[in-house]
Amino acid sequence: MKIFSVLLLFAGLALFTSCELNQLDNYDPPTAGLYGRFIDEATGEPVEQDIIRGTVIELIEHGYDPVTPQYLIVKNDGSYANTRLFANTYTVQPVRGNFKVVEAQEVKIEGQTELNFLVTPYIRVKEATITREGDLVTATFKLEQTSVSNVLKVGLYAHPDPHVGEPMHLEKEEQNVSTAVDPNQVFTLEMDLSTTPLESGTTYFFRIGALIDVPEAKYNYAPAVAVDY
């Protein structure tokens, strides 16, 4: 009798679990999405990012307590997209960015919803040029600050992947700055490829970056440039 009771209990648990799984399976898959770009509100240009350890967008879905935030990664060109979200109202805020703080906002996501962020980057990399002559790659540029904080450093980063940046490089040339900069000052960074592990016969991407002295700030960049070596 006891054995029969135990078997009956297990059968009931199995049936309950099966019903619960069926209920989960009956939920419609996510069909909504959120996409957009980070745009410099003064120039209208994309605000370049790092795809690794860069700006992320925090999403908090309404109607659940507690709820685990979701995070969307921003691409190098300042665009982002997630096409598999549940239609709902979300609190949306970019965090750990390379621009002045953007306040959280409530967004109703239905279908594929576009949300562009107009931001003020901490630093604008201006008049950037990258050239190669023989083994020497030279980068020149100016910086325009929008923050009173110091510019910590500037750098030239190289990698065979176009997602090159400070977190993703095979070779770099950096210069400590640690002061506010004159917008007319021309910075020059040089990289002697003959002293690096970069191999001839390969196309590399070079990117200029600058970092402001603000907690959790990320690098501001000029677009990556392809250079044949």
Sign of the alpha-carbon dihedral angle for 131, 133, 137, 138: negative
Residue 22: C-alpha distances to residues 16, 35, 136, 160 (Å):
10, 32, 64, 48
Per-residue pLDDT of the chain (229 residues; tens, 9 = 90+): 444 343 334 444 444 444 444 444 566 789 999 999 999 999 999 999 999 999 999 999 999 888 999 999 999 999 999 999 999 999 999 999 999 999 999 999 999 999 999 999 999 999 999 999 999 999 999 999 999 999 999 999 999 999 999 999 999 999 999 999 999 999 999 999 999 999 999 999 999 999 999 999 999 999 999 999 9
Domains along the chain with CATH numbers: 32-119 (2.60.40.1120), 123-228 (2.60.40.2060)
pTM of this structure: 0.84
130, 139 contact by CB (below 8 A): yes
CA distance linking residue 155 with residue 152, whole number of Å: 10
Burial letters 190-205, b for 16+ CB under 10 A, else e: ebebeebebeeeeebb
